Chain A
Amino acid sequence: MKRAIPLYPSVYAVRRRFREEGARAAARHVIARTQAQLIERNCHIVVVTDLHEIAVPVRRGELRVESLERRHLPLLHELNQERHDLTGDMRFAGDLDKRYGGFVAFKDDELVGFYWWTDASMDPHHELRNVALGVELGPGDAYGTDFYVAERHRGGGRASDFLYQIETALRERGFERLWGTVEVNNRAARWTYATRGYADQWTVAGRRLLRRWSYRTEQIDERAGVYR
């Protein structure tokens, strides 16, 4: 059963603000919280890379990459908690039911990160179905999503090495292009994609009013900061 989004801030928090900071602060808190419940915005950049030209990273992360299987799900739970993804466990189990593909990376025996992918033959991924990304997958296309590297394993070129091994594995499966999205404000991820040769295609600005999302596709504005 879906839980309705509460349209009011917590009474306890408002009373605390009022007590500690006064009426104006309490009123500001009410307005900010109500606004956050009513409206939400995000913005992603759609990126793509040509799998015929995979750059080999100079610095390798000493990773062992495997295809993601159901036995890996308990390990993914820990990383979902780390990234505050409350629906991740259920979503990933469902993604496996739909036969979506995935990869997991290990350093020694410790899980470093995960990556999910789909293609045109599979059930359309919810991001492609519900979000107007403007990506139409062809027979040689794969769409990558939910790419995550555990905080304690970042650095040392591991994200880049993980992507390199993913790209190689997908090329071996016959794919020619790999699509993805990255949040505009995620500078680290954008740097990883840019230095691995992914090309920015367009941005998709999302806006939620109550529970309804709408999306607008925009051309890349070079001045807005695209790493080229």
Chain B
Amino acid sequence: MSVAAEVEQFVVQQLMTGSTITSIDHDEDLLGAGVVDSHGLMQLVSFLRERYEIAVPDEALTPENFQTIAAIDAFVQRERG
């Protein structure tokens, strides 16, 4: 499974509990939709650390890096080098 697909699965299953949505467009604005709120961001950061062994430093916690699934995917690819 690709990084984008795994992140999408995590977002749908963990950050959108109670919702009937089963998939998200990878360009959907997660911040605007309130999916990645402060609590969601912390869960997402833990997921990236555990799944891809990526430590997310303060300076990387920008809306640009977490706005969409595509942006998170690009961030992971960059950090993995």
Contacts and interface: CB of A to CB of B under 8 A. Distances in A.
B58 interface: yes
Contact of A188 (B31, B33, B41, B57): B41
Contacts of A9: none
A228 B37 contact: no
B37 A160 contact: yes
Interface stretch (A20-28, A87-95, A106-114, A190-198): A190-198
State which size class the interface on B falls in. 10 to 19
B37 A159 contact: yes
Majority SS at the chain A contact face? helix
Interface in A173-199: 187-192, 194-195
Contact of B38 (A58, A191, A226, A228): A191
Interface residues of A, number: 25
A195 B31 contact: yes
Interface in A206-227: 222-227
A59 B39 contact: no
A224 B34 contact: no
Given A154-B39, A225-B57, A58 B63 contact: no
Interface string B40-81: 111001000000000001110111000000000000000000
A138 interface: no
A194 B63 contact: yes
Contacts of A158: 37
Interface string A154-172: 1111111000000000000
B37 A224 contact: no
Contacts of A222: 59
Nearest to B37: A157
A225 B38 contact: no
Contacts of B59: 222-226
A57 interface: yes
B41 A191 contact: yes
A227 B31 contact: no
Contacts of A59: 33-35, 37
Contacts of A191: 37-38, 41, 61
A227 B63 contact: yes
Given A187-B42, A188-B42, A195-B31, A156 B37 contact: yes
What are the 9 tightest A-B residue pairs by CB atom distance, in nearest-first order? A225-B58, A59-B34, A155-B39, A188-B38, A157-B34, A225-B59, A192-B38, A191-B38, A154-B39
15 contacts: A58-B32, A58-B34, A155-B39, A156-B37, A157-B34, A159-B38, A187-B41, A188-B39, A189-B38, A191-B38, A191-B41, A192-B38, A224-B58, A225-B61, A228-B62
Interface of B: 31-35, 37-42, 45, 57-59, 61-63
Given A59-B37, A191-B38, A195-B37, 8 more contacts: A155-B39, A156-B37, A160-B38, A187-B45, A191-B41, A194-B63, A224-B58, A227-B61
